[in-house]
């Protein structure tokens, strides 16, 4: 065989798997048809968070008077916004390139197609083709934006979540079809930039499986910021108009008509499996993705699938975790099965993060759960930051932490203490006896946990 392992796809699942296998002594080749870093670095997580930071600064400037600072006005230089975003992307992609090189991973820019379970044909940019063989393969081809069967949804100028990241001007109005994580993050970015945003969501709440206490509170907060949110609304048609587009839908209260300069369709993502010739080697898959076991191995021995392509949890950090698990399994290293206590972070205003069971899930399962909440408005650091909006909610069963849900400042950073607690089945007493520094935002977690046993000091939290 030419290699011990061939990885198809250079995103956060693929390149991490390639590096880990190389660290364990494997001869590794990584095949990527576009740029290293995949959707995450080039067209997803990173550019979106770069724009989120711009929006965050704009929100601060709009409320700067409360800090005793006066700024008469400000302008947004779109060219500089994109330049900064691209510099961040290029720096990270360059870092991935160097890491692969330092670990002696051969990188080929091309498209791989399976010929048999040990061989792929690689088509390179220059038109040449060659065959490569390996004992093992990891498929990490990621996902693509889903386009729903809505009349007019395939018009060229309608944005997907990837297209909109390269906007040429700030639209006066934007209709967002889909109130999931990506749709709401982008809705908040453009809302902060001054765009009149209308969200159309088919389900009765935004942000899908997020804890309902958080989604209700966020919906109210976003409406106060001028965002129009239409829930339980089905989009039937998108028409081009003189000034942009008209979105026609049907909601609980009747017909919905939204006029907007631009339209963003963000209704989820679909695994990229076409073109791999999976049928020829008998790999089991469906529209939800390639089917894998708890170590990400497919039904064909020696072939693994990690990240979005297996459809389990479409998050970059899950892809990386799966990539490591698969690489270690291939190389015979000690490796645990996948741990699905997964922190989820949503970059809206204020931030949202969660791990473990929601209260809705605990209720459906009939668990004898307790909840405790603590408001950021009672936290000194949050008030000093001028970000007292939001709360933390902790859920426990038999004194063990099973769910943590945060809406507030730096929620994406705070969630990991909760994730560790859930993953390690930590009890209320273990958290209570861990000193938390003051004044810090992390004190809200301590206070909420203490509230589970009625011992919260600084505020009597809501308890159930």
Mean pLDDT of 416-424: 96
Mean pLDDT of 294-319: 96
Query: Could you tell me which of 1, 18, 13 has the C-alpha nearest to residue 330?
Result: 18
Return the CATH architecture of domain 3-145+270-330: 3-Layer(bba) Sandwich (3.50)
Say which of 321, 416, 438, 458 is annotated catalytic: 438
**Confidence (pLDDT) at 457:** 66
Indicate the DSSP class of residue 310.
Answer: G
Read off the pLDDT of residues 149-192 as tens digits, 9 standing for 90 and up: 999 999 988 999 999 999 999 999 999 999 999 999 999 999 99
- Which CATH class name applies to 159-267? alpha beta
Number of H helices, E strands in the chain: 13, 23
The 8 Å CB, 24+ separation contacts for 335-339 are 335/295, 337/294, 337/295, 338/294, 338/295, 338/296, 339/423
d(CA 96, CA 278): 28
- Intrachain domains 3-145+270-330 and 159-267 with the same fold: yes
Domain residue ranges in the chain: 3-145+270-330, 159-267, 350-451
Evaluate if residue 75 carries a pLDDT over 50.
yes
Q: Which structure tokens are listed for 224?
A: 């106060």
Check whether domain 350-451 has CATH 3.30.390.30, yes or no: yes
Read off the pLDDT of residues 394-404 as tens digits, 9 standing for 90 and up: 999 999 999 99
Confidence of residue 31 (pLDDT cuts 50, 70, 90): very high
Confidence of residue 61 (pLDDT cuts 50, 70, 90): very high
Evaluate if residue 206 carries a pLDDT over 50.
yes
Looking from the CA of 424 toward its CB, the CA atoms found within 13 Å total 11
**Confidence (pLDDT) at 73:** 84
**Confidence (pLDDT) at 253:** 87
Pairwise pLDDT comparison (334 vs 329), residue with the higher score: 329
**Catalytic residue list contains 438:** yes
Element (H, E) at 215: helix 212-224
Question: What is the chain's Cα-based Rg?
Answer: 24
What is the pLDDT of the chain when averaged over all its residues?
Answer: 95
d(CA 194, CA 225): 10
Q: What is the pTM of this model?
A: 0.94
């Amino acid at each position: 065989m030419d290699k011990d392992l061939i990885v198809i796809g250079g995103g956060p699942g693929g390149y991490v798997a390639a590096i880990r296998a190389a660290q364990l002594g494997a001869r590794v080749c990584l095949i990527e048809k576009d740029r290293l870093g995949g959707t995450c670095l080039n067209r997803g997580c990173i550019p979106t968070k770069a724009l989120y930071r711009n929006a965050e600064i704009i929100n601060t400037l709009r409320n700067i008077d409360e800090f005793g600072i006066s700024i008469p006005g400000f302008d947004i230089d779109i060219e500089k916004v994109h330049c900064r975003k691209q510099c961040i992307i290029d720096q990270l992609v360059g870092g991935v390139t160097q890491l692969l090189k330092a670990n002696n991973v051969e990188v080929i820019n091309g498209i791989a197609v399976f010929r048999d379970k040990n061989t792929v044909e690689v088509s390179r940019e220059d038109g040449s083709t060659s065959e490569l063989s390996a004992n093992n393969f990891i498929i990490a081809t990621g996902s693509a934006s889903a386009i729903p069967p809505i009349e007019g949804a395939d018009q060229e100028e309608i944005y997907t979540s990837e297209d909109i990241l390269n906007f040429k001007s700030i639209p006066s109005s934007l209709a967002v079809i889909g109130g999931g994580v990506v749709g709401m993050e982008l809705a908040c970015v453009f809302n902060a930039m001054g765009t009149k945003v209308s969200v159309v969501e088919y389900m009765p709440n935004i942000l899908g499986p997020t804890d309902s206490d958080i989604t209700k509170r966020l919906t109210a907060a976003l409406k106060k910021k001028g965002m129009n949110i239409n829930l339980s609304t089905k989009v039937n048609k998108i028409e081009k108009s003189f000034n942009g587009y008209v979105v026609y839908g049907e909601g609980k209260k009747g017909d919905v008509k939204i006029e907007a300069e631009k339209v963003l369709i963000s209704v989820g993502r679909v695994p990229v499996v076409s073109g791999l010739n999976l049928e020829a080697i008998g790999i089991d898959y469906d529209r939800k993705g390639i089917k894998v076991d708890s170590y990400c191995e497919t039904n064909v021995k020696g072939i693994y699938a990690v990240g979005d392509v297996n459809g389990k949890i479409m998050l970059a950090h899950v892809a990386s975790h799966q990539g490591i698990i698969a690489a270690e399994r291939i190389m015979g290293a000690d490796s645990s099965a996948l741990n699905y206590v997964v922190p989820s972070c949503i970059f809206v205003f204020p931030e949202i993060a969660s791990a473990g069971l929601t209260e809705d899930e605990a209720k459906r399962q009939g668990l004898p759960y307790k909840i405790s909440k603590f408001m950021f408005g009672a936290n000194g650091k949050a008030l000093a930051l001028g970000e007292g909006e939001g709360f933390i909610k902790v859920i426990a069963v038999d004194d063990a932490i099973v769910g943590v849900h945060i809406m507030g400042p730096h929620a994406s950073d705070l969630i990991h203490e909760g994730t560790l607690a859930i993953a390690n089945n930590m009890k209320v007493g273990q958290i209570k006896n861990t000193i938390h520094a003051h004044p810090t935002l992390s004190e809200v977690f301590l206070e909420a946990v203490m509230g589970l046993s009625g011992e919260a000091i600084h505020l009597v939290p809501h308890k159930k």
